[in-house]
Amino acid sequence: MDFLEKHELYACLQCGKCTGGCPVSLRAPLNIRSLMREVLMGGSPEVALDCPGLWDCTTCAICTLRCPRGLKPSEVIVGLRAELVEGGRVPKTIIDALEGTFKHGNPWGRARQKRIEWKGDTAVKTLSDEGEAEWLYFIGCAPSYDPRLQRIPRILCRILETAGIDFGSLGTKESCCGNEIRRMGETGLFEELREENTKNFNASGVKAILTTSPHCFNTFSTEYDLDGFKVLHYTQLLADLIKEGEITFSKEVNKKVVYHDPCFLGKQHEIFDPPREILKAIPGLELLEFDRCRERSLCCEGGGGRMWAEGAGEGERNSEVRVKDAHAMGAEIIATACPFCLLTLEDGAKTTGLEEEMPIREILELVAEAMGFDDV
Amino acid sequence: MSKKHKVGVFICHCGKNIGGYINIAQLVEMVKTIPDVVISTDQKYMCSDQGQAEIKKALQEGLIDRVVVASCSPTMHEKTFRKCVSEEDFNPYLYQQVDIRENCSWVTKDIQEATYKAYELIKAGVSRVKTLEPLWSTEYPVTPTTLVIGGGIAGIIAATDILEAGFKVVLVEREDQLGGWARRIGKGFPHLTPIKDFLKEKIEVLQSHSGLKTYLSSEVVGLEGFPGNFKATIKQADDTTVEEEIGSIIVATGFKPFDARRKPEFAYGESTQVITTVEMEELLEKGELSTNGQPKEVAFIQCVGSRDKSIGNEYCSRTCCMVVAKQALLLKELIPDARVSVFYMDVRAFGKGYEEFFEKAQRSGVIYIRGNPSEVYKSGDKMLIRYEDTLLGRPQELAADLVVLSVGMEPAEGAAELINTLRATADKDGFFLEAHPKLGPLDTFSDGLFIAGCCQGPKDLPDTVAQAHGAAARATVYFHQDKVIKEPVVATIDADVCSGCGLCESICSFDALHLDEKKKRMTVQEAVCKGCGACAATCPSGAISLKHFRPSQVLAWVEGFLS
């Protein structure tokens, strides 16, 4: 099947809904609608490979979710990137991320033995070397290595322990989930990662997997073949534990908090309510909503490999728009449930000069505060 | 076979359809070798007068006592040839059609292979025709009353026609008054005539007839019987039920507008600045929009809930393009300095005078923007529409005071339940399925049940009214004949073998089989039986057989192939 058939380009109505809703189309030289037309009329993906905006796509998938003909424009971008990767026509930063993942199992190219650095003195058993468990907690690359994010898995471990959940991790055997790798066009490497992780999941003896990141959650639940495994994003489990009374709060968080829906959790999986249920359960916390929330949430521009590619976009970033909107509505904190969103929104707070006024927090950080975990 | 039969085989060329792909001359000779075939001949078109005359001549001369025509599919011309032989006082059930077109010439490339295949098919048909027995149709009396379900414009028109033809109508409407969606329409396109006046007049004419019995705030909850002799159960507002005897049924239950909340990206229900075309119709009618010269920037979004796989509605709702053209034009007249835009994918102005009306709307200053917007969100006191002008290739935002979502049509509330009650069939979108998209648009697969208007699929007023007139004519055909004729291909039970186990009753989709409590044997209500054969296949003791398809007749067919 050739590229045109594989991506159903003959069925495109050229209605423009994809480009119209694209979160980067107003600031980047990327028009997916016309790109698909170019490929169709040119008869091959070659004609679109020079498009300077190909690395701007965040794979938020709004184009795919809303296409009236059921086409997958975001997958056309991934397909075009695959052609670029094949021909070695890729930005240096992307090559580094791919090589780092190939060699060390993470796109930052950090050493594998440092993957458990986040733990500090948190006790987490390694599966299955140090026994068995009900849940496998998949930490993810960013929370494992990024100093800003490392306390997030520590907090979650503490919460799980408090709630009496039996869990463990893969320790240094954990490798990148591949969600971003596939979206950077490196299908071969993605397949290797999938095979390796699946092998480790099977060997761990668990039947349930919990993730920090919506990106890992997405690929495990839609792009892996994990029949028989339950895969949850931590917000789903946490919301249930709160409902069941397994988690209680001892302190108030007297803040106005606006929640930012991550694309890979909200739009793509319709997990809109669990994060809000957690925030609403926190004593003293007042939950605000962006006008662009839930299905209309504005993408932070952190997905689809954008953590490793600046893109050709100009002007105000979406993260800056988000921070300003939050500030204008009187929010004191932006909360989110995704490591990438957290980092990009923090960048937005810095570049808009609102770093002090507008702190960005993982939901888990607010939960920790309300549970009185001062030392995590 | 004790008696020796004389079979006539008539082979059709169907012009080049069969003649171009099968060696007919060779086939005629091959057929002559089949045992008991006394005539094997061919014609350019067997269905022509000349072709039929040849069959009649052979019957008149007493040369044959069984007839086989090898031509198209029986769904095409079986009726034609049955009628042809009947005209010679020959029992039509001693006729067998063999399909050598759809089943053979159209689908077989090699001429030799096709010729041999046709020969085999005919050989099987000859084997079967010799086992057939004469059967006679039954006539039943008719209750000349039509049940019309739905008191919207389609129901009103159909009911009026039937009453004017001198028959009776039982009209059941779910709401507490007649009129349906037509009550909510202001001016109609393309002539901008007030629909309410037209509707009022139609209702007055309807209600002037003495043969009309109307049930308001009521629903049809049950149906039994057979064409010409149905009994309908009607549930009234006070939850009591009444039964009405009727001869035919017209369903005219209309549609419901798409619920725009199912497209959350358009912010309907979250902002008062986002409304639907249904609400816009009311605003225009009441004239409330112009009180303070507002709004100044209005944008219509087409195809909300239509032509959209993401919410499961692939179809075009057919009316929205013109509804929007009309509303945009009226808005422009009401607030001349307002900027009115219409976002569209294609403009479908297919009806008489529609294209002209669309041009008129454009010339009035309405801006048509080709692009399917993706999202609507608040920005200050405006609603921002995110879209791409696909003709300019430019992603943009438009700040509107008012966004109007052009909602499509979906099956009416309760359509699925009614389809079930009436034993009708739903199409893939949940509308009533017509018997044939081109040749049976007002019929259903249930005899005596007809459909009109939007219950069958989205359509505008002219199409709805035309269908209503047509359905009225279809629903009264039996009434003019004063009888219904029931074909004799029905199930029959061998009472000596039947054990009265009731398995057949549970499999029958038409409620045609019942236990005779006294005799402890099953009985067939022949008028209701559709001859589908499900009972015969289910019966564990082989007590049931389907007339015209008895085991011996089917086996002879198979043996014909294998011999």
Between strands B409-411 and B255-257, the pairing is antiparallel
Between strands A256-259 and A230-233, the pairing is unpaired
Half-sphere exposure of B454 (CA within 13 A, CB side): 27
The pLDDT value recorded for residue B312 is 97
Domain B490-546 belongs in CATH node 3.30.70.20: yes
CATH no. for B262-406 = 3.50.50.60
pLDDT confidence bin for B286, thresholds 50/70/90: confident
CA distance A157 to chain B (A): 36
* Cβ within 8 Å, pair B267-A13: no
| Predicted confidence (pLDDT) per residue in B339-365, tens digit | 999 999 999 999 999 999 999 999 999
User: Which chain B residue shows the shortest CA-CA distance from A26?
Assistant: B395
| Predicted confidence (pLDDT) per residue in A331-349, tens digit | 999 999 999 999 999 999 9
Does B490-546 match B145-254+412-483 at the fold level?
no
The answer to whether residue A313 scores a pLDDT higher than 60 is yes
pLDDT (average), residues B265-287: 94
| Predicted confidence (pLDDT) per residue in B82-135, tens digit | 999 999 999 999 999 999 999 999 999 999 999 999 999 999 999 999 999 999
Query: Would you put residue B287 in left (φ > 0), alpha (ψ -120 to 50) or beta?
Result: left
* Cβ within 8 Å, pair A31-B393: yes
The pLDDT value recorded for residue B3 is 76
* Cβ within 8 Å, pair B388-A16: yes
User: Judging by beta carbons within 10 Å of its beta carbon (0-12, 13-18, 19+), is residue B208 exposed, middle or buried?
Assistant: exposed
Contact B512, B123 (CB under 8 A): no
Helix ranges, B364-410 (H): none
The answer to whether residue B288 scores a pLDDT higher than 80 is no
- Which CATH architecture is the domain A3-86 placed in? Orthogonal Bundle (1.10)
CATH, domain B7-136, list 3.40.47, 2.60.40, 1.10.3470, 3.40.50: 3.40.50
- Tokens 């499961």 -> residue: B312
| Predicted confidence (pLDDT) per residue in B292-338, tens digit | 668 999 999 999 999 999 999 999 999 999 999 999 999 999 899 99
pLDDT (average), residues A5-20: 97
| Percent residues over pLDDT 70 in chain A | 100
Mean per-residue pLDDT of chain B: 95
How many residue contacts between A and B have a Cβ separation below 8 Å?
A: 79
Which residue, among B498, B425, B494, B486, has the nearest Cα to B455 in the 3D structure?
B425
| Predicted confidence (pLDDT) per residue in B158-215, tens digit | 999 999 999 999 999 999 999 999 999 999 999 999 999 999 999 999 999 999 999 9
CA distance B264 to chain A (A): 7
pLDDT (average), residues A229-239: 98
The pLDDT value recorded for residue B292 is 67
Which residue out of B274, B388, B391, B398 would a mutagenesis test of the A interface target, given it has the greatest number of A Cβ atoms within 10 Å? B388
Q: How far apart are CA B379 and CA B388, in angstroms?
A: 18
Between strands B483-486 and B138-141, the pairing is antiparallel
The pLDDT value recorded for residue B1 is 47
CA distance A35 to chain B (A): 11
Q: How far apart are CA A297 and CA A23, in angstroms?
A: 10
The pLDDT value recorded for residue B294 is 82
pLDDT confidence bin for B464, thresholds 50/70/90: very high
Domain edges within chain A: 3-86, 92-241, 249-371
Contacts of B384 in chain A (CB under 8 A): none
User: Which chain A residue shows the shortest CA-CA distance from B389?
Assistant: A16
* Cβ within 8 Å, pair A16-B267: no
User: Which chain A residue shows the shortest CA-CA distance from B344?
Assistant: A15
Contact A337, A220 (CB under 8 A): no
Q: Which residues contact B537 (CB under 8 A, 6 or more apart)?
A: none
The pLDDT value recorded for residue B50 is 96
pLDDT (average), residues A67-75: 98
Q: In what order do the strands lie in the sheet with A230-233?
A: A125-126, A167-169, A135-138, A208-211, A230-233
Which residue out of B372, B397, B403 would a mutagenesis test of the A interface target, given it has the greatest number of A Cβ atoms within 10 Å? B372
pLDDT confidence bin for B563, thresholds 50/70/90: confident
| Predicted confidence (pLDDT) per residue in A236-260, tens digit | 999 999 999 999 999 999 999 999 9
Q: What value, to the nearest 5°, has the Cα angle with vertex A332 and ends A329 and A333? A: 110
pLDDT confidence bin for B291, thresholds 50/70/90: low
* Cβ within 8 Å, pair A17-B373: yes
Superfamily of domain B145-254+412-483 in CATH is: FAD/NAD(P)-binding domain (3.50.50.60)
CA distance B153 to chain A (A): 32
pLDDT (average), residues B211-228: 96
Closest CB to B310 among A34, A65, A294:
A65
pLDDT (average), residues A100-116: 97
Contacts of A261 in chain B (CB under 8 A): none
The pLDDT value recorded for residue B101 is 97
* Cβ within 8 Å, pair B388-A19: yes
Q: Which tokens hold the place of B37?
A: 């075939």
Q: Which tokens hold the place of B383?
A: 């609603």
Backbone φ and ψ for B280, nearest 5 degrees, come out as -60, -40
From residue B492, alpha-carbon distances to B132, B518, B541, B548 in Å are: 15, 19, 14, 11
The answer to whether residue B247 scores a pLDDT higher than 50 is yes
Contacts of A67 in chain B (CB under 8 A): 309-310
User: Which chain A residue shows the shortest CA-CA distance from B385?
Assistant: A20
pLDDT confidence bin for B509, thresholds 50/70/90: confident
| Percent residues over pLDDT 90 in chain B | 94
Q: What is the DSSP letter of A10?
A: G
pLDDT (average), residues B41-59: 97
Domain edges within chain B: 7-136, 145-254+412-483, 262-406, 490-546
Superfamily of domain A249-371 in CATH is: AF0625-like (3.40.50.10700)
- B→A contacts (Cβ < 8 Å), by residue, are 264-265, 267, 303, 307-310, 345, 370-375, 377-378, 386-390, 393, 395-397
pLDDT (average), residues B547-553: 95
